[in-house]
């Protein structure tokens, strides 16, 4: 076992880690050891699907010492007229250049790819099993916010015999002329996949979109970089603040944001229940709207109090709102009083009543989740 000394041990080599180390090199003389379980810097971009692109202008991404964007605009396609979107390969190449042209030549950074941190400064090569001890003043876990990506998912649903169920990463290699497609999921990856299929000639009638929840989206045109767009960006920010001040509830807030042009939705007749800052152009939105075979969960109001029975998990709806905080929590469940309370509010009430806190929540506590699966309702 060999030993290494450094001021910082940084776990991970994704966007957060690269930005942090870049600023360390700018601001002082600290030494850094970086470890990452992947073979190169770039984080989840290394595992991304071939048609993955930034959904925000590249000027807002990367490290401070070197811009990622070229300032070029897309001349055609659904993003026409807006700053081009960096591809997966561009982002991976960018971080590779930062490592090999800035970090390593500085003499202050050592990078150990294919290596994991086992705690206590112990790092282990995934290839050779060699162990090293890093003695550092600070350990920085830059993987804390690592996203969950399709490449690492396994289906949690049954697949019918004869149906090909593939990850989005495998889609470009699929050769099935005339095939119909069922797209499961409607987050940013789902949107990317729908757009890729449509732009590559798959007719919208051949796509069925399983959409557990609709999302609010940002209009990319309002967040373009450069001095010439500063006025529009400031107007957008002012409209957002105004909507926040004037709103009376979370639902009212997003309706005001939409009215001011600050948020978009896929279907004007369906109220989205999540917002994860997916950013699209109006052209992309119009293209996605050509898919009409969209399967959503049922959205109905809770029944009158006199008819409420303890619900099955599948009977909860995204439209039901907590009577206290107005959120649209997925783990809401009707109370015998006819009002709805989210799992977090149920937890607060249990805490205030000083009930025993050594067990997980149960449906009778106000959350319809199973005792061990609810992510928020824990006493």
Q: Which residues contact 141 (CB under 8 A, 6 or more apart)?
A: 11, 12
pLDDT at residue 1 in the model: 60
Residue 283, token pair as written in the block: 């052209």
Residue 223: CB atoms within 10 A of its CB come to: 19
Q: Which residues contact 100 (CB under 8 A, 6 or more apart)?
A: none
Domains of the chain: 2-141 (3.50.50.60), 215-290 (no CATH), 305-365 (no CATH)
Residue 256, token pair as written in the block: 């005001």
* Integer CA distances (angstroms), 150 to 40, 145, 170, 222, 288, in order: 19, 16, 10, 29, 20
Q: What is the pLDDT of residues 182-237, one digit of tens each?
A: 999 999 999 999 999 999 999 999 999 999 999 999 999 999 999 999 999 999 99
pLDDT tens track, the chain, 379 positions: 678 999 999 999 999 999 999 999 999 999 999 999 999 999 999 999 999 999 999 999 999 999 998 889 999 999 999 999 999 999 999 999 999 999 999 999 999 999 999 999 999 999 999 999 999 999 999 998 887 777 777 888 888 888 889 999 999 998 788 789 999 999 999 999 999 999 999 999 999 999 999 999 999 999 999 999 999 999 999 999 999 999 999 999 999 999 999 999 999 999 999 999 999 999 999 999 999 999 998 643 333 433 333 334 333 333 444 444 444 443 434 433 344 444 444 434 433 333 333 333 333 333 434 333 333 333 3
Determine contact, residues 91/56, Cβ cutoff 8 Å. Answer: no
Q: At what angle do helices 250-259 and 230-246 cross, to 10 degrees?
A: 150
Q: What is the pLDDT of residues 323-371, one digit of tens each?
A: 444 444 434 344 333 444 444 444 344 333 333 333 333 333 334 343 3
């Amino acid at each position: 076992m060999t030993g290494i000394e450094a001021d910082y041990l940084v776990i991970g080599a994704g966007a957060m880690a690269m930005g942090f180390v870049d600023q360390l090199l700018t601001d002082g003389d600290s030494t850094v050891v970086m470890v990452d379980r992947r073979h190169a810097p770039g984080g989840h971009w290394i595992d991304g699907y071939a048609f993955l692109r930034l959904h925000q202008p590249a000027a807002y991404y990367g490290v401070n010492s070197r811009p990622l964007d070229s300032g070029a605009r897309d001349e055609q396609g659904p993003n026409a007229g807006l700053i081009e979107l960096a591809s997966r390969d561009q982002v991976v190449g960018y971080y590779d250049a930062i490592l090999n042209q800035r970090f390593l030549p500085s003499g202050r950074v050592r990078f150990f790819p294919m290596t994991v941190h086992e705690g206590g400064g112990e790092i282990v090569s995934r290839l050779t099993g060699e162990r090293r001890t890093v003695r550092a003043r600070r350990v920085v876990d830059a993987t804390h916010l690592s996203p969950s990506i399709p490449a690492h998912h396994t289906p949690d649903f049954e697949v019918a015999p004869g149906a090909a169920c593939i990850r989005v990463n495998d889609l470009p290699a699929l050769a099935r002329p005339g095939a119909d497609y069922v797209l499961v999921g409607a987050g940013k990856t789902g949107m990317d996949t729908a757009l890729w299929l449509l732009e590559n000639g798959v007719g919208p009638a051949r796509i069925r979109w399983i959409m557990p929840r609709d999302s609010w989206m940002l209009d990319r045109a309002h967040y373009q970089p450069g001095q010439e767009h500063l006025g529009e960006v400031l107007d957008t920010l002012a409209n957002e603040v105004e909507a926040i001040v004037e709103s009376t509830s979370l639902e009212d807030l997003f309706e005001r944001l939409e009215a001011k042009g600050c948020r978009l939705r896929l279907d004007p007749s369906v109220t989205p229940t999540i917002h994860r800052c997916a950013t699209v152009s109006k052209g992309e939105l119009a293209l996605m709207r050509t898919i009409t075979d969209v399967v959503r969960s049922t959205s109905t109001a809770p029944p009158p109090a006199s008819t409420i029975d303890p619900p099955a998990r599948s009977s909860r709806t995204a439209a039901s709102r907590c009577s206290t905080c107005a959120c649209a929590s997925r783990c809401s469940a009707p109370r015998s009083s006819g009002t709805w309370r989210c799992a977090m509010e149920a937890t607060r009430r249990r805490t205030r009543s000083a009930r025993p806190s050594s067990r997980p929540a149960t449906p009778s506590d106000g959350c319809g989740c199973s005792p061990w699966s609810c992510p928020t309702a824990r006493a």
